[in-house]
Structure 1
């Protein structure tokens, strides 16, 4: 594949990373929780979808909807049972709770499903799309379209709906939102629903491209580097940052792996994250916050 094909592939994969990062950012904006288990939500979503397709033999669209709904409900359960009881506690308590969720999900997946890579049924048309000399699978192109539509949907939601405007108020200040009569706890639950749902969509799209394995959680974890690159409060920035990470990752695989023995694609997002934290800790699209005392 020539350089143009590599760039397009990187952008498409990056939009999926950005989608997962949006879920991460939503949870942080509404609840202040740094959800370390977002990658594992991606993981369990991929395996749940695989089960509904191969065991229940459901149509792809029905299986995808059921997976998203099931994982979103799981997000509610996590928020109600693991996160809400920690309100008022130190932020590190919620971080440690999500780290425990990482172990719980990985253990459950390993116990219920095989941990090796499994074949994934086609959920998009098989015919490749050709543009000039380039050829792309429909799973990649549909992934890009779906990510853009979801971004558009959330942009409208946060700017045109009452719940969206209330969530923006909660993101700015819980105290201010409470003073305005906003039900902060309800919106925290909604944020976890959205966060888990976006993780589910990301898991479905990644599985359609790379298959299903335990390693898909590591791909989901790259959302951490994306959200820090974008800025913790920037939803639209997540997609752009995802594209940057996707481009850097695929170029590192192509041009650095031959000289290093491999692994540079997986390393790149986190090297970029560390570099950015040193130079611009509030992200490319975030705002510098100054506390006056």
Structure 2
């Protein structure tokens, strides 16, 4: 079975470690590379695609090193997050140039086919500088697919894509995974990964934090303690009330008098809070989750 394998792979830039001792195996199907912004996802994808050498460790496709292996580049397609710098070209010219670089026997025919696949046939004659963000994403995908690669790597492919285009792109990725290709896409948005991939790899601060079935890892993320900042008409009385509830594991009063509440059972807390406060004549004025960023979710996951 085909596989993209990283073994103890690191990459640093001066004193900054972007990827730290990562080992993972990506097989056929769709895999989500999940992590907060700055986690090292882009650097990892650059090493997987052969655009960047590891500072230590190895990246191999079917046992062959990816770095400086021109034969392997014909089996890998990359859709980078960065914008296309060839805005003066038409979409067709850009995709066909990639087909010619790959030395395909029929560059024009391959270009026509892939433009149809990503639904860009009609606007392909326009300059890329006139495209919307979503159209630029699709033309980058066409260029990455024109040589029919075994491996497709995508960096934040859904950024700026409207709902209809997003749905089409998701269907396309799922179909390629079902066809036996290795499809790996990065995202910092949990819901995007949930709709496309069953297997995920999680990066936090350059380290490999988790690997496996999406459902199991998602459960770890949602079952973690949740923290809220809470303001009411009577914070002192509310603090005493909350401490008697099983779903609440901690209450602290902040220096400005607000409450910091730690909740272990989010469902019971959300269902019970309105009734508890109504019965005591307390009015809730503000209820804000303070740890709902992906950074905090992933930090909890690493510690689990």
TM range (shorter): under 0.3
More relative contact order, 1 or 2 (CA 8 Å, 6+ apart): 1
Greater helix content: 1
Larger strand percent: 2
Q: Normalising by structure 1, what TM-score?
A: 0.28
Compare CA radii of gyration and give the structure with the larger one: 2
